[in-house]
Amino acid sequence: MLEAVRQQLESDPGYLVDPACPYPEQLRDLLRRLVTRPEPGEPGMEDLIFRAGQTEGEQADSLIEEVQNAINSMKRLQRDIDASDDVGDRLAFLKNYGALMDRFLSLKEKANGIKQMYDFQRLVIGVMEQVLDKDGRLDFKERLKAANIAVD
């Protein structure tokens, strides 16, 4: 149902403000808030998920935080829909709720895995630099290159 609204908005940006829009005013207000993007310079542009100069670990943290924010937004949407009198909207939301939660949790697991791998690599490289002499480090890096693993 949300996909249909998105497609309608692509062809008619004023769809949600048009009096002929079939949705109740409360739902239209909610949909406008969900689909409206801030203009450059408006509040919200600083909330980008990834910023220049972030390490892989910081990017994983940002992704985990974004997934948590999406889950929280979905919970707020559920509260708004539960307050609505439209049974169709409730059913549509419930129909998609499980699949969305599954996707969000899968993304969060993947981001946690990326973060753990980054932390592990950082630890190995740190120990390698502390324990091995220059020749040992060079030999270790050559072995990693031979195994097709890039290390800087």
Residue ranges per structural domain of the chain = 1-35
How do residues 97-146 score in pLDDT, each as one tens digit?
A: 888 888 888 888 888 888 888 888 888 888 888 888 989 888 888 888 88
More confident residue, 125 or 34: 125
Q: What pTM does this model have?
A: 0.49
Q: What residues contact 45, with CB distance under 8 A and at least 6 apart?
A: 38
How do residues 58-86 score in pLDDT, each as one tens digit?
A: 888 888 888 888 888 888 888 888 877 78
Sign of CA dihedral 113, 119, 127, 53: positive
Judged by average pLDDT, the poorest of 48-52, 81-85, 87-91 is 48-52
